[in-house]
Amino acid sequence: MFYLYDNHDLKPLPLSPSDAIGVAQFCDGILVTNKIEEAVLIASYAKAAFLLHSKNVSSLFDYWKLQIKHKTLKEFHIILYAGPKNCLYRFLKGVAWSSMGSYQLIDFFKTRRDAV
């Protein structure tokens, strides 16, 4: 399932990858998935994001290993982090800070609390 990140909330998009990308482009929104199999299909979209949580952390690393192995250019510039602030969060925060705007890390729990 794909989601449109809008106003600190995720709105489901039960569409095919190409249709979901089309809707996200029309809305100029962030297209989100939490499944690595779906992530590969939308990674070409500039505002594609991966929702990272405790149950799919390892799949993100598998995705990066796959990129290195096959030397692909598909990557995520936005990661929605829905988990405790641990070593991984600090690492990703450092990557986002040092990339000078190329990568964005959104603390999903914090933005949802602030929106309420």
pTM of the predicted model as reported, rounded to 2 decimal places: 0.77
Count CB atoms within 10 A of the CB of residue 82: 19
Give the closest residue to 48 by CA, choosing from 58, 63, 65, 62. Answer: 63
Q: Where are the domains of the chain?
A: 2-115
Q: Which residue has the tokens 């929106």?
A: 115
* C-alpha Rg value of the chain to the nearest Å: 14
Q: Is the dihedral of CA 106, 99, 37, 39 positive or negative?
A: positive
12-56: per-residue pLDDT in tens?
A: 999 999 999 999 999 999 999 988 888 888 888 989 998 888 788
Note the pLDDT tens digit of each residue in 49-89: 988 887 887 777 776 676 666 555 566 788 888 887 888 88
